[in-house]
Amino acid sequence: MALLGKRNPLRIRRETSSGFYLDGEELGEILLPGRYIPPGSKLGDTIEAFVYRDSEDRLVATTEMPLAMVGEFARLKVIGAARNVGAFLDWGLSKDLLLPLREQAKPVAGGDWVVAYIFIDPKTNRIVATTRLNSHFEKNPPFYKHNHPVQLLVASKTPLGWNVVVEGAYRGLLFSSNLSGPVKIGQKLQGYVRTVREDGKIDVALTPTGYRQKVTPLTDQILERLNAQGGFLGLDDKSSPEMIQKAFSTSKKAFKQALGALYKEKKITFENGGITLLR
């Protein structure tokens, strides 16, 4: 059966002047407008299509890929608003995604970027977004060990630091004390697990704990970057924490330790405001 808000393999049942009608099984026939039909498609073929509702609440399909689907978190831009209704988000489709007023953790305005969760409103059966994220995280604590590498999506500011989405599923906290530079909402970062709490919330950091864990992988990253850039990298131990964070998602302290290790091993030298690979 075709799933609303998901990408589905759907068979072409019939052709009309408006486009192809696809077999949605229990959902019935679903129109794929002509402008989305892949060249060479014919009756009986199967097409990968995303299913949603148009402005008249009819099921329609598109071969466009949204920035996120139902059940996912994503960084989306606010492009407009309607009084007493909510805001509209650009999620990569011709029909914008509604962020209802009741689903806004705080008021938003055009031009804002938000981290939202996409779900099907049980009252209207429409695909909508919410910035009230807490009830949409996985409830069962994950089996992550200390220093386990994870992908982070920065969601919102807190007095202690930043709320983050961990691996697209779990609620995490990145403490300000573990940051060497600024971060922003919607930023994607490489992180490491510090603690998994009983309530499922995860404390994370941007570097693993322990000198060996911090320095060894980072030295490999620096060498790989040097090789990819012809043997020179325009960063050194005097570079700003912001530049280092952007390039390697790590602190200046860890970066300097890694450079020191590489220098002692006679693998790099410092020159021209950067480092050069010794061959």
Predicted pLDDT of residue 211: 53
Predicted pLDDT of residue 80: 92
Residue 217's CB is within 10 A of a number of other CB atoms, namely 16
Q: What is the pLDDT of residues 219-264, one digit of tens each?
A: 888 988 888 788 899 999 999 988 888 888 788 888 999 999 999 9
Contact indicator for 268, 226 with CB cutoff of 8 Å: yes
Predicted pLDDT of residue 166: 97
- Rounded Cα–Cα distance for residues 86 and 77 (Å): 14
Residue 105's CB is within 10 A of a number of other CB atoms, namely 15
Residue 264's CB is within 10 A of a number of other CB atoms, namely 9
Q: What is the pLDDT of residues 262-272, one digit of tens each?
A: 999 999 999 98
Where is 22: in which H helix or E strand? strand 19-23
Q: What is the pLDDT of residues 197-217, one digit of tens each?
A: 888 899 998 887 765 555 667
- Rounded Cα–Cα distance for residues 179 and 245 (Å): 9
SS3 142: coil
Q: What is the pLDDT of residues 127-161, one digit of tens each?
A: 999 999 999 999 888 889 988 999 999 999 999 89
State yes or no: pLDDT of 180 exceeds 70: no
- Rounded Cα–Cα distance for residues 235 and 175 (Å): 26
- Residue 254 is classified by DSSP as H
Predicted pLDDT of residue 251: 84
Predicted pLDDT of residue 214: 57
Across 36-50, 97-111, 114-128, 167-181, least confident range: 167-181
User: What is the share, in percent, of the chain residues with pLDDT greater than 90?
Assistant: 65
Predicted pLDDT of residue 139: 85
Q: What is the pLDDT of residues 55-75, one digit of tens each?
A: 888 999 999 999 999 999 999
Predicted pLDDT of residue 179: 75
Predicted pLDDT of residue 35: 93
State yes or no: pLDDT of 86 exceeds 90: yes
130 dihedral zone (left: phi>0; alpha: psi -120 to 50; beta): beta
What the chain holds in terms of domains, given with CATH numbers, is 7-62 (2.40.50.140), 73-134 (2.40.50.140), 149-205 (2.40.50.140), 211-277 (1.10.10.10)
- Residue 178 is classified by DSSP as G
Instruction: Write b or e for each residue in 87-100: b if 16 or more Cβ atoms lie within 10 A of its Cβ, otherwise e.
Output: bbbebbeeebbbbe
What value, to the nearest 5°, has the Cα angle with vertex 199 and ends 123 and 147?
120
Q: What are phi and psi of 17, to 5 degrees?
A: -65, -20
The candidate with the shortest Cα–Cα distance to 8, out of 45, 58, 54, 51, is 51
Residue 206's CB is within 10 A of a number of other CB atoms, namely 21
Across 1-10, 124-133, 161-170, 249-258, least confident range: 249-258
Q: What is the pLDDT of residues 189-198, one digit of tens each?
A: 988 999 998 8
Predicted pLDDT of residue 107: 93
State yes or no: pLDDT of 102 exceeds 80: yes
Predicted pLDDT of residue 217: 79
State yes or no: pLDDT of 97 exceeds 80: yes
